[in-house]
């Protein structure tokens, strides 16, 4: 348990340049507090003390602003940055070295007692306010842009932006297995498509103008 706690502290120090010391992380990071309380609640849930586990989760939500269901499975290395308003549903599964920002929701779409929340692979980064809804997998090494709404499976090492979320790839720029917290240069496939259309229109206009010039020259030659 103490080794996991030390890893949680190291994780924050590695990924948050605002963190100055281990003591600051222990005292002032609600994301770390939420993870520690979740481990207690998850253990109680596994022992069958469901109501007590939910109460611990409820207290954690009150203290940290982060709601994690006791049944959610969370691997080591999770970093919840700021975290206020983050929600992790009952059947969610989170791989190692995942980063979640504030307002993220891992939600479900079914009323049945079944797998209904997403699974996040290793090294996934989910931007502020993003919503991942449904029982599908976000591939390892992927990034979900801030404010995106993801409702379908995402391949590994992908970038998702928009509402609904659209998958794009950073050709040759991603290193599989590397944690990338950059949330400012996410490509927009719609904007890219519009740029391509504008380039095509300009090309066609140039061809039309060239044909007009040829016809004008031919008329002048006849006169």
Neighbours of 164 (CB within 10 A): 12
Classify domain 2-187 at the CATH class level: mainly beta
- In the predicted structure, residue 187 carries a pLDDT above the cut 90: no
pLDDT tens-digit map of 80-89: 998 899 999 9
d(CA 154, CA 170): 14
pLDDT, mean over the chain: 86
Please name the helix (run of DSSP H) or strand (run of DSSP E) that holds residue 222, with its range, or none: helix 189-222
pLDDT at 162: 82
Neighbours of 59 (CB within 10 A): 13
pLDDT at 47: 95
**pTM score:** 0.74
d(CA 158, CA 205): 36
Range name among 29-33, 52-56, 64-68, 177-181 with the lowest pLDDT average: 177-181
- Domain ranges for the chain, please list them: 2-187, 188-223
User: Are the C-beta atoms of residues 34 and 83 closer than 8 Å to each other?
Assistant: yes
User: Are the C-beta atoms of residues 143 and 186 closer than 8 Å to each other?
Assistant: yes
Residue partners of 213: CB distance under 8 A and separation at least 6 = none
What Rg do the C-alpha atoms of the chain give, in angstroms?
24
pLDDT tens-digit map of 199-209: 889 889 888 98
């Amino acid at each position: 348990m103490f080794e996991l706690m030390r890893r949680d502290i190291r994780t924050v120090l590695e990924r948050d340049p605002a963190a100055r010391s281990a003591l600051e992380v222990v005292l002032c990071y609600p994301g770390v507090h939420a993870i520690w309380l979740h481990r207690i609640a998850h253990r109680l849930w596994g022992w069958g003390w469901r109501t007590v586990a939910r109460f611990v989760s409820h207290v954690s939500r009150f203290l940290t602003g982060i709601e994690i269901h006791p049944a959610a499975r969370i691997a080591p290395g999770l970093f919840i940055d700021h975290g206020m308003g983050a929600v992790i549903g009952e059947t969610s599964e989170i791989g190692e070295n995942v980063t979640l920002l504030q307002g993220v929701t891992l939600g479900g779409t079914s009323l049945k007692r079944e797998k209904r929340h997403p699974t996040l692979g290793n090294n996934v980064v989910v931007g502020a306010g993003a919503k991942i809804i449904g029982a599908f997998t976000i591939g390892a090494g992927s990034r979900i842009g801030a404010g995106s709404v993801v409702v379908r499976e995402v391949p590994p090492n992908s970038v998702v932006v928009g509402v609904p979320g659209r998958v794009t790839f950073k050709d040759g720029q991603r290193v599989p297995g590397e944690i990338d917290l950059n949330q400012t240069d996410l490509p927009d496939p719609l904007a890219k498509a519009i740029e391509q259309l504008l380039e095509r229109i300009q090309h066609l206009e140039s061809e039309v103008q060239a044909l007009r010039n040829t016809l004008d020259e031919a008329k002048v030659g006849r006169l």
